[in-house]
Structure 1
Amino acid sequence: MQKLEALNFDNTYARLPDAFFAHQPPTPMTDPYMVSFNADVAKLIDLHPEEGMRAEFLEYFSGQRTLPGSSPLAMLYAGHQFGHFVPQLGDGRAILLGEVRNQSGEHWDLHLKGGGPTPFSRSGDGRAVLRSTIREYLCSEAMHGLGIPTSRALCIVGSDMEVYRESIETGATLMRVSPSHVRFGTFEVFFYRGQKEQVKILADYVIAKHFPELVEPEDKYPRFLQEVVLRTARLMAKWQAVGFAHGVMNTDNMSILGLTLDYGPFGFLDNYDAGYICNHSDHQGRYAFDQQPDIGAWNLTCLAQALTPLMSVDEAKEALNHYQSTFASHYIDLMSAKLGLKESGKLVVPLITDLLDILHKNHIDYTIFFRALANFKQDATKNNATLRDMFIDREAFDNWAREYKLQLDKENSADATRRTSMLAANPKYILRNYLAQNAISKATDEKDFSEIDRLLHLLKTPFDEQPEMARYAAPPPDWANKIQVSCSS
């Protein structure tokens, strides 16, 4: 494990032509203080956990000092925001400090969110507020604990400096860590500028670094697009199965590696609502929960268009054709696992869709129900009263449970074995909005950061019972319905 000053930087993105970025050091925050430190992420970059306690740590990650070996820059990209192309988006408030290569040979971007204005900030201040950094910090770790590809975060550094949003808030930086921050929009900016050579340079860079098996084949570009299609389809399936709504699926928020990126107004489902809109700013419901798979496909067509200088339209269409079948098969597999079924495929689709329909109509908590379903008894003399009593329309549950039991009997399912597998597929703990809000309120009102660390620890193992933390698995209180989350951060 290394000291901060000994991190092994290998800044490959900084070696690309100047068209891809602007050299930009962070703008220092005043009087920085530690809000939270993630020791597990420190290990990814071979950083000794005790380094988080040094005064120099705050200086490096608040912009007051430059890490030895780093090469701070702002990445250029464009993107489609709510369906409309915006020719330049940034990065307006995040700075790639550099890329650390660990002892295993893995590269990790150190991406300082809230590092101040860049040449791409337009009129923005380039800052982040403590509220939004807490949400991203916790949710990225929650997603990792759920087994969903995601960026992660090393730390939050706070400051009492004022940042103006809908109201005056305090500022913070988030040290985001990811294998890459290249987005669909990184390709789009060069395509729409007619800079075909830059599209090729970027594609060759991404392929060499992240898809080395594709470097040699003559059809490497169509195969690269197809790999992004497959990864994105699987990511969308994972979001839908766990009940996660991203909220702002603009193409500039879509990772070229199929990672969950840029947590803004996200939300996990409480009561199952297929049309759940987590983003208060999404007045048309473009990014509603049930729209995410189609938006994933739409965004991929934007990426495919940006890559047409490197392949024919037919090759791009062929790559895109893999999306729907990959999403559907992966989603059905995930939902079959949540139901404890050995069988997957078309035969079990009615069980899945019928269940989601009655969950929606009866306003049943998605996470709590699936966790409780692990206790379903096949014995005909038992009526699974606890599950049944969750429903207003108990007859609807009875009808579904009858079909469910028939499928379990057909598979020779055993209650105990199935329960074990279902508990491993259905989390007990998710980052509900009210849990995040409790941590934010303590942090902003009292400068008490203990709830952040408590949630960070809890969400690392969301499938474990953790009986001492059982209250965090409770349904949301009534006041949680008033929480509104928008794009402002």
Structure 2
Amino acid sequence: MNAPHPPKLPLRLPLNWDNQFHQLGAAFYTQIAPQPLPEPYWVGRSPSAAALLGLDAQALAAPELLQALSGNLPLSGSQPLASVYSGHQFGSWAGQLGDGRAILLGEANGWEIQLKGSGLTPYSRMGDGRAVLRSSIREFLCSEAMFGLGIPTTRALCVSGSDQPVARELLETAAVVTRLAPSFIRFGHFEHFASRRQHAELKTLADFVIDRFYPDCRSTPTLDGNVYASWLQAVVQRTAVMVAHWQAVGFCHGVMNTDNMSILGLTLDYGPFAFLDVFDPGHICNHSDPHGRYAFDQQPEIAHWNLYALANALLPLIGRPALAEQALDSFEPTFKRSYQQLMAAKLGLQAAEGDEQLPVLIRDTLAMLAQDRVDYSIFWRRLSHARVSGPFEPVRDLFIDRVGFDTWLLRYQELCAQSEKGPEANLMLKVNPKYVLRNYLGENAIEAARHKDFSGVANLLTLLLAPYDEHPAFEALAGLPPDWASQISISCSS
């Protein structure tokens, strides 16, 4: 298959380009253009993400934009590059990594625009620089789903596909997902320069991030006047809040390597992720993780470990290990406070300071769900309806141990009575989603897309951007997953 011949002139869009990462200099990246994707076609587009760039529906549908975001046509004002970074992968130092299949086009209207799957870069190592259709659809949908859930995340503008073959475990087809973020800088960027003792570059990058995204850390540092320690503490706290959201909604990241951790506390790099079906605290969503390092219940601890790796990289700037420790010590209380607030909202209760009953109820609720392997999302949604209008029988029907549930319900109703069915109860349907991106839903959309039917992708996008709404026409997609869903296996390959 021959690649199309792109027009000679670059595509001009109504974007204000301000490529600040490019201005850091050659130590931080390699300039490289995307490789063309033969005969691309649209797979999915997010008008919500397009609005961030000021692009309307007409611009998003343009054939020229398809060519530009598939690597076939340069965008006027862009300065494409692949960034270098390092990191720990599955707890071991992996050395130099980098954007092996992603190319940052630049920054426009305050958002970095990145093509993932756009071909070989100097950091591709043994890879081919391409992404495949299945992983690109999953990342596209999950990025937008997390936004719909109110969880800090990168965004996804669109996915384009091609019939170009790509070899993985099986022969698949290529795709490119266009990602947006205020910045794609990771913990691994700082590990890279620290490991090489390039302290000048380390400081340059830290100052760039602080000045752009954490200015308060410079104007009013919180830790003994130390700007870098105060900034580390802010990163620690943002990360803790992000992971608390993951745990509350039942999201498993799957590959929490330090090179997959955003310095802005955004969910980054959707690979072998999963939303829990049955509540299994030890669930491992990545079959490339046989020892369960990144199991669901390990995510808070791993996030803390990754922050220690970041702190170690920043020690040349902080200067005093005690201050770095103090910054890291803010993780646990921030996580616990955020998680308890989120879980209290899911229960329709208030999270009052010093409340001893609520943490016990949360713990016992999760233990009860785990014991009977109850569907996590459906439990919370049914509980929301029962709390607002009753009855509780549909919730009870989810459990094998009815006596145990009845005992729990009595305790729960006693706490509910204290709040007199106030606004917390009425908000339950706004914090307990009806729709999440279950793996089987994604698989169905991917299978249809392989046959050029992209309606499943479009329908899921609609639901996931408004996951708390009822959407009665799609009621079946909010039900219990089919038996075969438990056999889906997701790996790091893409």
- In the alignment, is the contact (CA less than 8 A) between 1:4 and 1:57 conserved in 2? no
Change (3 A) 1:375 1:449: closer
> What are the equivalent positions in structure 2 for 1:2-151 lying under 5 Å apart?
4-101=12-109, 107-151=110-154
Counterpart amino acid of residue 381 in structure 2: R
In structure 1, stretches of 5+ residues that fail to align are 102-106
Choose which of 292, 303, 328 in structure 1 pairs with 2:310: 303
State the 1:377 CA deviation. Answer: 5.8
- Residues 70-469 of structure 1 mapped to structure 2, 5 A cutoff: 70-101=78-109, 107-217=110-220, 218-311=225-318, 312-344=320-352, 345-376=355-386, 384-413=392-421, 417-444=423-450, 446-469=451-474
Partner of 2:5: none
Deviation per CA, 1:363-386, whole angstroms, max 9, x where unpaired? Answer: 11011011111233699xx98322
**Compared with structure 1, are the counterparts of its residues 192 and 447 closer, same or farther at alpha carbon in structure 2 (3 Å cutoff)?**
same
Instruction: Tell me the SS of whatever aligns to 1:157.
Output: strand
Q: Sequence identity of aligned pairs in percent?
A: 51
**Which residue type is aligned with residue 466 of structure 2?**
T
Counterpart contact for 1:428–1:473, Cα < 8 Å: yes
Distance (Å, rounded) in 2 between the aligned partners of 1:268 and 1:453: 19
Give the deviation of 1:215 after TM superposition: 3.3
Normalising to structure 1: TM-score of the pair?
A: 0.95
Segments of 5+ residues of structure 2 without an aligned counterpart are 1-10
Task: State the TM-score, normalizing by the size of structure 2.
Answer: 0.94
Aligned equivalents of 1:51, 1:401: Cα separation in 2: 52
Give the AA of the match of 2:455.
Answer: S
Q: Residue 7 of structure 2 corresponds to which residue in structure 1?
A: none
Distance apart, 1:343 and its partner CA: 3.8
Contact kept, 8 Å, 1:375 with 1:419, in 2: the verdict is no
Give the aligned residue type for 2:70: S
Q: Aligned with 1:307: secondary structure?
A: helix
Distance 1:482 1:215, change over 3 A: same
Q: 1:131, 1:257 → 2: CA distance?
A: 27
Aligned counterparts of 1:88 and 1:335: Cα–Cα separation in 2: 39
Mapped partners of 1:409, 1:39: distance in 2: 43
Q: CA deviation at 1:214?
A: 2.7
Contact 1:343–1:411 (Cα < 8 Å) also in 2: no
Write the letter of the residue equivalent to 1:291: Q
Q: 1:22 to 1:384 in 2, by over 3 A?
A: same
- 1:206–1:388 Cα change, 3 Å: same
Contact kept in structure 2, 1:435 and 1:472, CA below 8 Å = yes
Range with greater deviation from structure 2 (335-344 or 125-134): 335-344
CA contact (8 A) 1:24 1:118 kept: yes
Q: Take 1:262 and 1:285, find their aligned partners in 2: how far apart are those partners?
A: 19
How far residue 466 of structure 1 moved from its aligned partner, in angstroms, is 1.3
Given that 2:254 and 2:295 are in contact with CA atoms closer than 8 Å, whether structure 1 keeps it comes out as yes
| Partners of 1:18 and 1:129 in 2: CA distance | 30
SS at match of 1:109: strand
The alpha-carbon distance between structure 1 residues 420 and 413, as it changes in their structure 2 partners (threshold 3 A), is closer
Name the aligned partner's letter for residue 234 of structure 2. E
SS at match of 1:374: helix
AA paired with 1:393? D
Q: In structure 2, how many angstroms separate the alpha carbons of the residues matched to 1:237 and 1:377?
A: 24
Residue aligned with 1:376, SS: helix
Give the 3-state SS of the residue equivalent to 1:408 in structure 2: helix
1:162 is paired with a residue whose SS is strand
Residue 410 of structure 1 and its aligned partner are, at CA, apart by 2.7
User: What is the one-letter code of the residue matched to 1:134?
Assistant: I
SS in 2 for 1:22: strand
Aligned-partner Cα distance in 2 for 1:76–1:343: 43
Deviation at 1:411, TM superposition (A): 2.9
- Alpha-carbon offset, residue 387 of structure 1: 1.9
Distance (Å, rounded) in 2 between the aligned partners of 1:465 and 1:219: 49
Q: Secondary structure in 1 aligned to 2:115?
A: strand
Whole-angstrom distance in 1 between the partners of 2:103 and 2:459: 28
CA contact (8 A) 1:238 1:334 kept: yes
Task: Report the Cα distance in structure 2 between the residues aligned to 1:247 and 1:346, rounded to whole angstroms.
Answer: 33
**Is the 1:23–1:74 contact (alpha carbons within 8 Å) kept by the matching residues of 2?**
yes
Q: Is the 8 A contact 1:7 1:100 kept in 2?
A: yes
The answer to whether the 8 Å contact 2:345/2:424 transfers is no
- CA spacing shift, 1:377–1:136, aligned 2, 3 Å: closer
Q: Cα deviation per residue 1:220-243 (whole Å; 9 max; x = unaligned)?
A: 111110110000000010000000
Equivalent residue for 1:104? Answer: none
Post-superposition CA distance 1:311-363 (Å, at most 9, x none): 11111001001000000011011000100012444431110110110100111
Q: Which amino acid aligns with 1:385?
A: E
Give me the whole-angstrom Cα distance separating, in 2, the residues matched to 1:152 and 1:204: 25
Give the SS at the match of 2:477: helix
How far apart are 1:48 and its partner, in Å?
Answer: 2.8
Amino acid of the structure 2 residue aligned with 1:339 = L
Deviation at 1:5, TM superposition (A): 3.0
Q: Distance in 1 between matches of 2:288 and 2:104?
A: 28
Preserved contact between residue 94 and residue 111 of structure 1 (Cα < 8 Å): yes
